[in-house]
Structure 1
Amino acid sequence: MNTQRQPATAGAQDQVSELFVVVFAGYYRPWATWIQHRLESHGHRVVLQRWDPPRELPLESALGDLLLARGRILLVLSDWFFELGPRPEGEWTQALRGIVAANAERFAAVNLTNRALLPATAVLEPVDLWGIGAAEAERRLLSRLGLPEGPARRELPTCSRYPNDPPAVWGEVPRRNRRFTGRDELLNRLQQQLTEAEQGSAVVALLGMSGIGKTQMAAEYAHRFSSEYDVIWWVNSDTRGTQRERWGELAPELGLPVGSEPGERIRAVREALRRGRPYGRWLVIFDGWDDLEGAEELLPTGPGHVLITSRNRGWAEAGATVLDVPGFLRAESTAYLMRRAPRLTAAEADDVAVELGDIPLALVQAASWLGESDMEVSEYLRMVRDGEMAQLVDPSGLDGVPRSSLTSWSILINRLRESQPHAVELLSLCTAFAPGRIPIGLVRLLPPGQLPDNLGWLAGDLPSWTRALDTLVNYSVFTRRDARSTGDPTAEPGPEQEAVHMHRLVHDIVTRLTSPEDRQAHCRIVRRMLAAADPGNPQDSRLWPRYAELLPHLEPSGALGSHDYRVQETVLNLLRYCLHSGEYQTGTELAEKIREQWSELFPPEHPRMMELTNQQGNILRAYGQFRAAYELDREMLERLRALPEADATSLLLTAGCLAADHRFLGQYTEALERQQEVLDTARELLGPDDFLTLQAQHHLGVGLRLLGRYADAYDIDLKTLRRRETLLRARHPATLMSGIACARDLRLLGRYGDALARQELGMRLHLQVLGPQHPNTLRARHNLLLCERRAGSHQDLGGAMAALLEDMERVHGRGHYATVGLVVDYGNYAREHGDLRQARDLIEEGESAFRGLLGPAHPISTGMLSNTGLVLQAAGERSEALTMFESAYAGLSVTLGTDHPWVLGCALNAAAGRNFNGRLESAKELSRDTLRRARRVLGPDHPFTLSCEVALACDLRGLREHEEAGKVEEDALQRLARTLGAQHPHTQSARQRVRPYWDFEPYLG
């Protein structure tokens, strides 16, 4: 009987709206929501009804209950729909031929699968929506319901995405588990928590013991509610390194113009998500995030949602809404078991669920075994209850897992050992990796000769390899299987790119079931795999994803304590990767673990230990832990010098590292002396044109600059630049660095025009060679802005500084010393241009950050007091400003000596403070002395010296010594016009008798 209505004709838009009840299995909520929105846009009323009647209720009664509702009933059909309960096929057939056929005018259906439905569903005349576009799906839906097919009456303000259209960005969410059962109430609560949270704080943590189903629930949420998001990104968070690498991979997916360094990418991603551009509807899932350290630097804020799975209850204190994930409800347990193992009766499923405590992971394993094997349920339960196999497993540290669950896993693995030995061999090999994502395909990179005889099949027998993997996936030992991209979109990944995902609990249990001898053999294999997979170039950002993949497996495989030279080199390369990729915290932790292991293998002066110390010191220095780097390098240098025949190159490198430590610690005189020794040794040992010699020469220029010897620094830097241009060519990164150094020297020498011209050229080269987001390019942009400011640029540099600060923060982080230096310079600029509120905020931030990084006695921390004084003075707080000026002046005089340019700058500000506080005679004396020293140190025509002249003229006028004041002022104006030009802001300010000041520009080298 055909109950389909004829399409409406003219006047159909005036018809009375109808009521529809859309009935769906929870699995297909996105489809039900889309159908609801489309029908409502045509003026109809819709009620959604998630339908999963208890198995005890006869199906005809459950369908009859639907008929109690007013309106027509639209069933959303799929093969999953007919597994509800689950119920025998005969019961469905009887109900469809009975109550549904008798009420055919009330029922309609859509079909979402390409698989054959039960023959009896023909009575519903389901319209097929599988594999078609949104417009055609809407047309078929309306036609099936006999509704007008014209344009919608109204478009809803919010409408879900068509479920066949995936989100714009879909990031490695695990495949949907077609056996996912229940959890509907939890999923609905989760959605409510996320959607009702205030914008910027929608963070929910799913908490529970291992094996309770947190990951499966997060994956189901992503699939079930995918139509509500434009971006869904999955981040495996078992280890910090893999978490950060995966999190940063979202940046290119969002089209963000950033490089390959994970920290830079993460900061760019967080900023894009915070702003909601290019997408505002996003969901980020952090799976297995148990270590909360540094969470505030990773968690995104903004209009989207964050979902975390974890065992750590500390997320409640970290600001997340906590949702506890308990075991299955009994009905969920039995439904899952009967669906996965159809031969089980309801009573047998109930017995198994009781025995396994309704723990999902245990039920998955039991259902896999009972579904694949012919073992009687009674025999299986007897073995579980006796616990005979669990005696093989040490239960300590297994997160409260019941002994019955351990027995269940033991039964499976030991039976596989008998029937599928290759599968167990492969599984045992995986325990030599860290749990989570395991790049098992790397074993196929090894020559068969490097494998034991019993494992040679891993590299040479592809059919056995495939069968073993399939077996372990079918038995749910591996939660999923995927392949790493080859980088060629047209190429299919091979077995070498395969990876599996192994639950932490399964990993722990299998580890306990593996003999110590087998485990040692497997660890040796994995160490060889890691060495064979090492690309050998940690400086190449294109290879960083491979290094991030290898990093978590160093410790479990025993690679950190390996005697193998190639494995040791891989360990060092992974440490170098941490340095070059900006993963300083991970690198710091890894270096300590390596040191702990290698200290038992090598004497402290062994070349391996020296290389470790060199890399560890570089990471600590880059991370801002200057004192720790100094202690490490100092101890190593002392050990080397105590040796009767120390390696000269090792001595040279270690001494150079220690000189750098001195510079960062503010010990400028010691740093220069040590750097001069390093340079002299390098010239004698390696020759004047060796790369290390020129590097030492460059660092000597840095030391001279920090001591205020700008002319000497420029001579050295210019000489280094010319040699590098000859030997390395103009576009080499080292040559570009020398170019920045020369431009900086010229600016500090007061040659602002020359500095700007050189830096503009250097900026173009940096962009061409290194790209816009490279740290050295950002350094060049910073110096360019300072050159433009000193050269008297009339354009507003505030916008450029703000943009650079955003880029600096993305690349380095807000607390890195390079970023803090820009914060201070931006604050000085804001003060100079009248934005005192912004200036105060930025200067306070910079002062506090430098004090935390360097300590209160460091010259930069002391010099920052002068910047604070300038803000206070501009705000009219003259007494407080003078206190800051005098403290900076006195402090730097002690540490740097009275003739250092920084000290002279503090003196210039202190004299102004004395003048403004009525201490005119004292101000004049300080100004006169400062001018005298500036002429000797910087020269009579340096812009700073001329500022000192203008300041002295102000003090003389305050004391009514007009004749001398006039002569001093006239000399200053003539020299300024000749040096900077009559239209330079500095010259014009002096002509207008504006009291000059000195900005402290923090510079660490």
Structure 2
Amino acid sequence: MLLILEHLMYKLKVTEDLPEIPHPCNYFDLIGGTSTGGLIALMLGRLRMSVKDSMEAYGQLVKEVFSDVRFQGGDKKLKTSKLEKAIKQILQAYLASHDPEDKLEDIQDNACKTFAGRATSADPTFFEQIEIRLSGIEEEFVDGGISHNNPTASLLSEAKEWLQTDCEKTHQFFADHFAGTENLYFRFNVEQGLQNIPPNQWEKLSHVAANTRQYIQSQLVITQLAKAATSLSEKRGKVSAGSLAPVLTAIEMGQSQVVPTLVGCPPPSQIFQGRQDILARMKDPFSKDIGKRHVYVLHGLGGSGKTQIALKFLNMMNQYPTPRFTKQFFINASSQQTLDTAFKNIAIANKIGNSFQDALSWLITGTKEWMLLFDNADDPNINLFLFFPQCTHGNIIITSRNPQLAVHGPRSHSKVGNMEETDAIELLLLSAAEDNTVETAKRASEIVKELCYLPLAIIQAGAYISKFNCLDQYLSLYKQDHARLLKEHPEQSHNDYEWTVYTTWQISFKQLSKVAAQFLQLCSLLHHDKIPEAIFQKAAEWTGDVQNVQQARAFLQNFLTPSMIWNQQLFMGIIAEIAAYSLVNRHPGAVLSIHPLVQLWCRNTLANEPKVRECMMDILGMSVMLTDDEDMFRIGLIVHMDSLVQDPATVKPVFLAEYAQIYFDSSRYKEAESLEVTALEKQKQHLGANHSATLLTMENLAVTYHHLGRYQAAEPLEVTVMEKRKQLFGEDHPETLHAMGNWLPQSEGLAVTVLEKQKQLFGADHLETLRAMGNLAATYRWLGRYQESEALEVTVLERQRQVFGADHPDTLHAMAHLAVTYHRLGRYQAAEPLEVTVLEKRTQLFGADHPETLRAMGNLAATYRWLGRFQESEALQVTVLEKQRQVFGVDHPDTLQAMAHLAVTYHQLGRYLEAEPLEVTVLEKRKQLLGADHPDTLYAMENLAATYHQIGRYQESEPLAVTVLEKRRQVFAADHPDTLHAMAHLAIIYHQLGKYQEAEPLEVSVLEKQTQLFGADHPETLHAMRNLATTYHQLGRYQEAKCLCWK
């Protein structure tokens, strides 16, 4: 038996991923035995010994006690002295801090552990009986195994009487009674080869071991050991104390069969909360067409409260003056065995037979309004329809994790999801025995949100809070060790549900095939929502030559035909297998989702998390290698990359570049930078500094630095790329010109050179030439030379139309750039038709939610604002902001841009109090994302300063305006339009503060520069002139003010 137990403990080590083989005392509540089995129970239980130590101690004891040849006679009694000595040696060795004469339990008699060991092994065949004084009376004890060799019943009932001697009879008694409850009762017994070996033949222990190992190797025993390990790991049995009553009664009465006590539907939990929407939907079908068949299916994730909803419904329906259902039967539908047993019990209890068919026939022929509640019908291999009485009357409710069972109630089923927040808060506080006050509700709200409003997790949390009185501390405890808290079973509960959050999912997980389990674990490392199934297909279809992706390709092989073609049916089959336990959900658009707590559980139970993460990173990387032109697919991967890529150093270089590009295209420049820096280091190391791939990464990193506003960091990289390409290819090579073209914002001369060379090499209408022309136009715009920018952009747009057509994305791009330049020039009437066209065409090409479409919408909204069409502007901007939040999230640069534009509109409408919080958010987020010196951050700072100014908070406005002016002088030039705008704004603030002397030189400078840049009649120039005239008037310089006013 110790050998079997050793194997069982090893199974437990594997099941729970433990660092060492556990001790049985940590898993068994009761350990019993008779004869030498009693000694083993004493070692394993009271002495808390490991199986290995128990085997060594037992072997040594048997050898010492039985090795004396004088005691080999058939009818001779072995002296007890050696046995007592051996027992004391074990006690002293493994209970060193206690005297071997200490009592086994804290009771009033003087029985000690040595006596207990002696008494259980006092087989009169070998040993003398033992006399023990109990309460002043000497009593004789012999080995209990003489008449009760199987002590199972004694362990359960703790009764004084013993069962019959026959072990097999006792075993069969319990096996029959618990047949309807899986994985509860196990018996391991080596039947062959050990029948005639008495304990005094210690030298045959090797023979015992050999037969035991052979027994363990049988497939049946292997399966039973695995199931036993699972039950021990889950810590809780599947039978309540109440259901043992018939067994114990039968034991006391000496019965050989237990008459089943029919289990009706128990009442719902006393703390049941919410679910009114589902209860209302359930009531409707059962309230109509009385006398006809009705079936309702509740399906959802384990722990979502399906059973409690069903019980609450039945309780509710039986509160009527006349109960709706005359008989209710609670059926454990978790297996074929439990279903058969439940129907057999129905037959026996109603005295109409003793078989499944008897019960079914009785239900079919009866006319009463019975209700069958099939609970936990989770096994997808069971056709539950076969257990339905085939008649037109009766009522059925099914609870299952398998959504496919909705087929039994096509229009009468509900998916049971998370609770509503208010109900979840009340459930937590009731579970925790806390009053519902403003303060406790606030704490509870934070906790239930962290627990994703899952009922079972909330009840467990409430029990823990109640036990330790830790409502205030629970959230921090949970974040420190959520795995332990979600595994912990409450000592006191409001129902007989035996599983914790984690064990309920572990049960489902163990039913999955190897491939399905791997798929779920891989998906758990992605974001829990909107997981595109296309990731796996695209990865499988990519045939690029990349080293060290064998693990990923081996997994994807499961979904390929022998001819290496993607097999969608195989893939869908795996998803269906997992979805049958509600561990994943499939949504329209071929995307998956995982409940956040299931995702957390999956991650916590990964045996080799780094290898699994590497495999998923390779699959994701392989999938994006085929998707250069699929913008929406790539954008959708952002949240999954955030979840998956924890350390860029663990990503393969070839995938690093693709990941970085996706981040860059989504304006996530900091993340792009991190990946590009890592990729550059690896490429320099493995490929060399002059390799084309290394130079390309260096070039991309420089462009990223530009977008981050880190121009000084970008310049040396761009110079290096340009010089190396000159050395490798020559000055006129396209790659060299491409490098020169990237180094443009600081160098007009380079941009002009690149354009001239591109014309010479490719001609005026070539794509590269038009690209160079667009870059030069962007440089002019950057420098504030809008007229020169306009001239180039008009040319680019005309040629793009000729070469590509009016609807080509590049043509629309050129049109959008020209509209921006018109906007900067104050020519809003000219910008509007271009922006309307761009928006319409992009909506047709990409859809309403595409990033390019949303940018076009934002630009048109800004133009409407400047044209005074505020209602149209606001409506567009609200739409853009909502969609940007949905597509990119709240922290994305495009979302912040939409927020900033809406704030400007509010500002111009005089709704400053609505503008301020938006502007504060934009400024804070841009500082985090882009840095304090980035041009976009300075725009946000300038807008907030203007709002503070309008609401009279001049002291807060002034330092912001001063900072903006100083930074712009550093980044741009003194005569750049943005610098002049900052100068004009600060002058206005000085004016409001009465600092006219400080305002006047700023306004003079602004007027001079504006006149040079835009001309005397430009709106900005006229505005500057008006501001200076006002200042002159305040300074008493009326003549100068009058002259400006006349102008």
TM-score (norm 1): 0.51
Output the CA distance in 2 between the equivalents of 1:430 and 1:32.
Answer: 35
Residue of structure 1 in register with 2:629 after alignment: 539
Q: d(CA) in 1 for partners of 2:685 and 2:982?
A: 52
2:690 aligned residue: 605
Q: Which residue of 1 aligns with 2:329?
A: 75
**In 1, are the aligned partners of 2:625 and 2:658 still within 8 Å (CA)?**
no
Aligned residues of 1:445 and 1:529 also touching (Cα < 8 A):
no
| SS of aligned partner of 1:324 | helix
Q: Which residue of 2 aligns with 1:689?
A: 765
Deviation at 1:711, TM superposition (A): 0.8
Distance 1:314 1:943, change over 3 A: same
Q: Mark the CA change 1:435 to 1:617 in structure 2 (over 3 Å): closer, same or farther.
A: farther
CA distance in 1 between counterparts of 2:990 and 2:540 reads 77
Q: Which runs of 5+ in 1 are unaligned?
A: 1-11, 14-23, 47-70, 133-160, 171-184, 208-216, 226-312, 338-357, 370-422, 490-500, 513-518, 563-567, 660-667, 972-1005
Task: Say if 1:436 and 1:756 are closer, same or farther in 2 by CA, change over 3 A.
Answer: closer
Show the 5 A alignment for 1:20-419: 28-38=307-317, 74-77=328-331, 79-80=333-334, 93-97=347-351, 108-110=370-372, 115=384, 127-129=394-396, 164-167=412-415, 201=446, 203=448, 324-326=485-487
Q: Indicate if the aligned counterparts of 1:109 and 1:125 stay in contact, CA closer than 8 A.
A: no
Work out whether residues 656 and 676 of structure 2, in 8 Å CA contact, stay in contact via their aligned partners in 1: no
1:756-783 deviation line (CA, Å, top 9, x unaligned): 3333333333333333222222222222
SS, match of residue 849 in structure 2: coil
Matched residue type, 1:727? V
Change (3 A) 1:164 1:197: farther
- Where 1:97 maps in the other structure, the secondary structure is coil
Question: Which residue of 639, 652, 659 corresponds with 2:737?
Answer: 652
Quick check: 2:369–2:395 contact (8 Å CA) kept in 1?
Answer: no
Q: Does 1:841 align with 2:917?
A: yes
Helix, strand or coil at the partner of 1:834: coil
Equivalent AA in structure 2 for residue 716 of structure 1 = L
Show the counterpart of 2:209: none
Structure-2 separation of matches of 1:206 and 1:325? 10
CA distance in 2, matches of 1:964, 1:549: 60
Q: Deviations over 1:236-256 (max 9, x none)?
A: xxxxxxxxxxxxxxxxxxxxx
Cα displacement string for residues 492-518 of structure 1 (whole angstroms, at most 9, x for unaligned residues)? xxxxxxxxx997799748999xxxxxx
Kept in 1: contact 2:668–2:892 (CA 8 A): no
Contact 2:328/2:371, CA 8 A, preserved across alignment? yes
Distance change in 2, residues 1:38/1:584 (3 Å):
farther
8 A contact 2:524–2:603 mirrored in 1: yes
Q: Residues 781-930 of structure 1 correspond to what in structure 2 (within 5 A)?
A: 781-793=857-869, 795=871, 797-858=873-934, 861-862=937-938, 866-878=942-954, 881-882=957-958, 884-889=960-965, 891-893=967-969, 895-920=971-996, 923-924=999-1000, 926-930=1002-1006
Question: CA–CA distance in 1 between the matches of 2:635 and 2:929?
Answer: 31
1:946: how far off? 1.1
Change (3 A) 1:546 1:891: closer
Distance in structure 2 (CA, Å) of the matches to 1:545 and 1:844: 27
CA contact (8 A) 2:730 2:736 kept: no
Q: Distance in 1 between matches of 2:507 and 2:589?
A: 38
Q: Which residue of 2 aligns with 1:939?
A: 1015
What residue number does 2:424 align with? none
What is the alpha-carbon distance in structure 2 between the residues aligned to residue 847 and residue 32 of structure 1?
A: 53
Match of 1:983?
A: none
Q: Match of 1:151? A: none
Question: Out of 940, 947, 950, which is 2:1026 matched to?
Answer: 950
Q: Structure 1 residues 734, 362: closer, same or farther in 2, change over 3 A?
A: closer
Cα pair distance change 1:849/1:638, threshold 3 Å: farther
**TM-score w.r.t. length of structure 2:** 0.49
2:1007–2:1024 Cα contact (<8 Å) kept: yes
Distance 1:957 1:527 in 2: 68
1:939 positional shift: 0.6
Counterpart check, 1:706 vs 2:820: no
Give 1:127 shift.
Answer: 1.6
Asked if the contact 1:316–1:322 (Cα under 8 Å) also holds between the matched residues in 2, the reply is no
Cα distance, 1:876 vs. partner? 2.9
C-alpha spacing 1:859/1:579, structure 2 compared with 1 (3 Å) = closer
Q: What does the per-residue CA deviation read over 1:861-919, in whole Å, with 9 as the maximum and x for residues that have no partner?
A: 55655444433332334465455545544553455343222233233334433433444
User: 1:930 aligns to what SS in structure 2?
Assistant: helix
Q: Distance in 2 between matches of 1:511 and 1:828?
A: 47
Q: Which residue of 2 aligns with 1:725?
A: 801
Q: Which residue of 2 aligns with 1:756?
A: 832
Q: Computing the radius of gyration over CA atoms, which structure comes out larger, 1 or 2?
A: 2
How has the CA–CA distance of structure 1 residues 203 and 756 changed in structure 2, closer, same or farther, with 3 Å as cutoff? Answer: same
1:545-556 maps to which residues of 2 (within 5 A)?
Answer: none
Q: Comparing 616-625 with 766-775, which one deviates more in the overlay? A: 616-625
Provide the secondary structure at the position in 1 that maps to 2:487: coil
Shift of 1:480: 10
Q: Is the 8 A contact 2:923 2:937 kept in 1?
A: yes
Could you report, residue by residue, the CA deviation over 1:600-643 in whole angstroms, capped at 9, with x for unpaired residues? 54223323334445566667777898887777656655654565
**Aligned residues of 1:808 and 1:819 also touching (Cα < 8 A):** yes
1:7-45 CA-to-partner distances (Å, cap 9, x unmatched) read xxxxx99xxxxxxxxxx99874443344445555x5667
1:766 to 842, 849, 853: 842
Cα 1:884–1:653, aligned 2, differ >3 Å: closer, same or farther? same
- CA shift for structure 1 position 77: 4.0
Q: How does 1:415-426 map to 2 (within 5 A)?
A: none
Q: Deviations over 1:271-297 (max 9, x none)?
A: xxxxxxxxxxxxxxxxxxxxxxxxxxx
Contact 1:701 1:713 in 2 (8 A): yes
Cα displacement (A) at 1:820:
3.3
Q: Distance in 1 between matches of 2:537 and 2:348?
A: 50
Change over 3 Å in CA distance of 1:643–1:589 after alignment to 2: same
Measure the CA separation in 1 of the matches of 2:575 and 2:673.
37
1:767-806 per-residue CA deviation (whole Å, 9 max, x = no partner) reads: 3333322222222222222322323336464444333333
Contact 2:331 2:339 in 1 (8 A): no
Q: What one-letter code is carried by the residue in structure 2 that aligns with 1:32?
A: L
Tell me, in whole angstroms, the C-alpha distance in 1 between the residues paired with 2:540 and 2:999: 79
Say if 2:635 and 2:666, in contact at 8 Å, map to a contact too. no
Secondary structure of residue in 2 paired with 1:876? coil
Does structure 1 retain, via aligned residues, the 8 Å contact 2:483–2:601?
no
Checking the alignment, whether the CA contact within 8 Å between 1:785 and 1:797 is kept in structure 2 is: yes
- What letter is aligned with 1:741? H
The alignment partner of 1:110 has SS state of strand
Using the alignment, how far apart are the partners of 1:549 and 1:860 within structure 2?
24
Q: How far off its partner does 1:739 sit? A: 1.3
The CA distance in 1 between the partners of 2:796 and 2:733, in whole Å, is 23
SS of alignment partner, residue 810 of structure 1 = helix
1:942 Cα deviation (Å)?
Answer: 0.7
Of 541-550 and 713-722, deviating more is 541-550
Identical positions, percent: 16
Q: CA deviation at 1:714?
A: 0.8
**Paired letter, 1:791:** L
Q: Tell me the secondary structure at the aligned position of residue 351 of structure 2.
A: helix
- SS at the partner of 1:679? helix
User: Residue 709 of structure 1: CA displacement?
Assistant: 0.8
For residue 351 of structure 2, what is the amino acid of its counterpart?
Answer: R
